[in-house]
Amino acid sequence: MPDAANPSPIAPTASSRLWTAGASGGVATLVLLGVAILHPHHAPVLLAGVAAVVAATWMVNRARPSGEAAPVVHLAQPMTSTPVASAPDGALLDAAFEALSDAVLVISGGEPDDIAGRRIVLANKAARDLLRIQRDGAILVSVLRDPAVLEAVDEALFGGIERSVDWSGVRDRHWKAQVRPLDQGGDRALAVLVLRDDTDVRRMELMRVDFLANASHELRTPLASLSGFIETLKGHAKDDPKARDRFLDIMSAQADRMGRLVADLLSLSRIELNEHIPPSGRVDLPRAVSDVVDALSVLTQEKGVEVVVVGDATAPVRGDRDEIVQVVQNLIDNAVKYSPRGGRIDVEVRAGVSADQATAPCMEGASRLPLLTPDHDPARRHAAVIVRDRGPGLEREHLPRLTERFYRVEGQKSGGDRPGTGLGLAIVKHIVNRHRGGLAVESAPGQGTVFTAFFPLADAPDAAG
Ligand code: ATP
Ligand code: MG
């Protein structure tokens, strides 16, 4: 019977073709038989005609469907997205499935109340590596035990529900598990499970929340103090010019602090935005140092601090001038801020050093910690700026946290006049990272602190690339 399924919505169905051809053949046969009975002398010719009509009807019913089927199947295949593909396409699909970076698994259901019935019928390489799947048909619960994911799989298999759940199963990373029913036309319940590494997205989200909380907290304090002073000035200090002047000074300092905080936050976000783009300019490090020392001279003179600059006269590094100046400025600014009155600060520029030479110890008995280390390349040469003060120094436990945003060592005096925002070293770290350089700290309580920042030399062969 030519009743093969015909998926085309516009082609006639097989049964209608059978009816048309069969009915016409039948009527013709009956007419010929009737004439043969009425005119027996013509019977042989008429019976031959009947035989011809029957043969023709049979031929039509056999030949037509196969003749029409070819273009219909051809058109219908892509429309119904039949998974049956020709051999090369199948191989291509397999290769693409294997190459996906997300872990993808196809799971079959078995009996709804038999948890061991969920089997992995297909898993790409990422899934096999992630879940250490050794063989075909592995039981799902033996490789993935998270109840939330298993429940989502069951809902997809037996409820036809698509879901996305969090999974924190392997390698201390966070994953998003997306489960979707897979309708294959058969009576087997199937679902597809995709595991996507969500760690970086989550970390960014946490950082953002943390950052916003810290930033608003930092702004709230000076803002609250400003409002307090305004109230006082409107109230009992209204007619006290001495108190008014004192309060206005404090208010101006608070407003300055808020301004610095906002400027630092903007600068941090701008640097972060460009952090993945290596800078292309060329900066002479000793020149940047002397510019900063000149710019800070009012401050150093005010505090009676002497800044002594030594080292190489030229050291061209690959970098963004404003950013390199900001690094040097933040380091020297800290040294000034945390130096005792009348203290001395040494700033040294060393060109042509390796990363290890740049961060070689220079204070006896001090704790030393790299805060940022560039990719290891013994051939690469750097220029380093080393800033040493004789301030209070830092306990070892503080060193790893110095470049965290808003981190300040509690109880430490910064001269009192300019309380910091705790963003200076975070900015330094981001800039140095963008420049593929390094940062280290060495400190001993009571002896002082040494910060070293180094950048790849512009002339080094690998720095040019
Ligand atoms: P900002 O630089 O944003 O005005 P800040 O100086 O407080 O504020 P950072 O430069 O990030 O912030 O420094 C973080 C903390 O590290 C400081 O609050 C201080 O406690 C400590 N610190 C930094 N440099 C020194 C130093 N040279 N000597 C002693 N402590 C330091
Ligand atoms: Mg600072």
Tens digits of residue pLDDT in 42-66: 677 667 666 766 665 565 455 444 3
The verdict on 313 and 424 lying in the same domain is: yes
Phi, psi of 35 (to 5 degrees): -65, -40
Local structure of 122: helix, strand or coil: strand
The verdict on 248 and 213 lying in the same domain is: yes
Total domains in the chain come to 4
The verdict on 320 and 448 lying in the same domain is: yes
Which residue is it, tokens 């946490």? 206
* pLDDT value, residue 217: 85
* pLDDT value, residue 182: 92
What tokens appear for 404 in the block? 């965290």
Minimum-distance ligand to the CA of 409? 1
Q: Tell me if 389 sits within 8 A of 340, measured CB to CB.
A: no
The verdict on 103 and 232 lying in the same domain is: no
Minimum-distance ligand to the CA of 418? 1
* pLDDT value, residue 10: 30
* pLDDT value, residue 387: 98
* pLDDT value, residue 67: 36
Instruction: Say how many Å lie between the CA of residue 281 and the centre of ligand 1.
Output: 28
Q: Which residues, in sequence order, are CB contacts of 194 under 8 Å at separation 6+?
A: 102, 103, 104, 105, 177, 178, 179, 180
The verdict on 445 and 302 lying in the same domain is: yes
CB of 285 within 6 A of ligand 1: the answer is no
CB of 338 within 6 A of ligand 1: the answer is yes
Q: What is the CATH number of the domain that holds 188?
A: 3.30.450.20
* pLDDT value, residue 135: 81
d(CA 415, CA 338): 7
The verdict on 302 and 404 lying in the same domain is: yes
Query: In angstroms, what CA-CA distances link 196 with 140, 176, 180, 190?
Result: 17, 5, 14, 20
Return the sign of the alpha-carbon dihedral for residues 158, 164, 166, 170. Answer: positive
Instruction: Say how many Å lie between the CA of residue 280 and the centre of ligand 2.
Output: 27
Q: Has residue 76 been placed in a domain? A: no
Q: What is the CATH number of the domain that holds 213?
A: 1.10.287.130
Local structure of 449: helix, strand or coil: strand
Query: What is the position in ligand 1's atom list of the atom closest to the CA of 448?
Result: 28
* pLDDT value, residue 65: 41
> In this predicted model, what pLDDT tens digit does every residue of 251-297 receive, in sequence order?
998 899 899 999 999 999 889 888 888 999 999 999 999 999 999 99
CB of 167 within 6 A of ligand 1: the answer is no
Return the sign of the alpha-carbon dihedral for residues 79, 80, 86, 89. Answer: positive
Q: Has residue 13 been placed in a domain? A: no
Q: Which residues, in sequence order, are CB contacts of 171 under 8 Å at separation 6+?
A: none
Q: Has residue 464 been placed in a domain? A: no
The verdict on 298 and 445 lying in the same domain is: yes
Q: Has residue 87 been placed in a domain? A: no
Q: Has residue 257 been placed in a domain? A: yes
* pLDDT value, residue 113: 83
- SS3 of 367-429: the string is EEEEEECCCCCCCCCEEEEEEEECCCCCCHHHHHHCCCCCCCCCCCCCCCCCCCCCCHHHHHH
Closest C-alpha to 68, from 131, 125, 116, 17: 17
* pLDDT value, residue 218: 85
Instruction: Say how many Å lie between the CA of residue 337 and the centre of ligand 2.
Output: 8
Local structure of 257: helix, strand or coil: helix
Q: Which residues, in sequence order, are CB contacts of 139 under 8 Å at separation 6+?
A: 116, 118, 119, 120
* pLDDT value, residue 463: 44
Q: Tell me if 344 sits within 8 A of 405, measured CB to CB.
A: no
The verdict on 369 and 404 lying in the same domain is: yes
Q: Which of 402, 421, 447, 450 to mutate to test the pocket of ligand 1 (most atoms within 8 A of CB)?
A: 402
Residue ranges making up the domain that contains 422 = 278-456
Minimum-distance ligand to the CA of 417? 1
Instruction: Say how many Å lie between the CA of residue 334 and the centre of ligand 2.
Output: 5
Return the sign of the alpha-carbon dihedral for residues 393, 399, 401, 405. Answer: positive
Q: What is the CATH number of the domain that holds 351?
A: 3.30.565.10
pTM, two decimals, is: 0.64
CB of 448 within 6 A of ligand 1: the answer is no
The verdict on 261 and 284 lying in the same domain is: no
The verdict on 294 and 426 lying in the same domain is: yes
Q: Has residue 462 been placed in a domain? A: no
Q: Which residues, in sequence order, are CB contacts of 381 under 8 Å at separation 6+?
A: 351, 352, 353, 354, 456, 457, 460, 463
DSSP 295-307: HTHHHHHHHT-EE
d(CA 17, CA 72): 15
Residue where a domain stops, chosen among 138, 166, 197: 197
Residue where a domain stops, chosen among 197, 228, 256: 197
* pLDDT value, residue 440: 97
Q: Which residue has its alpha carbon closest to ligand 1 atom 6?
A: 420
Q: Has residue 416 been placed in a domain? A: yes
Instruction: Using 70 as the pLDDT threshold, list the residues of the chain that sit under it.
Output: 1-39, 41-42, 45-46, 48-50, 52-88, 171, 413-419, 459-465
Query: What is the position in ligand 1's atom list of the atom closest to the CA of 408?
Result: 18
Minimum-distance ligand to the CA of 414? 1
The verdict on 209 and 267 lying in the same domain is: yes
What tokens appear for 393 in the block? 């120094």
The verdict on 410 and 262 lying in the same domain is: no
Q: Has residue 444 been placed in a domain? A: yes
d(CA 3, CA 120): 37
Q: Tell me if 168 sits within 8 A of 189, measured CB to CB.
A: no
Residue where a domain stops, chosen among 8, 36, 60: 60
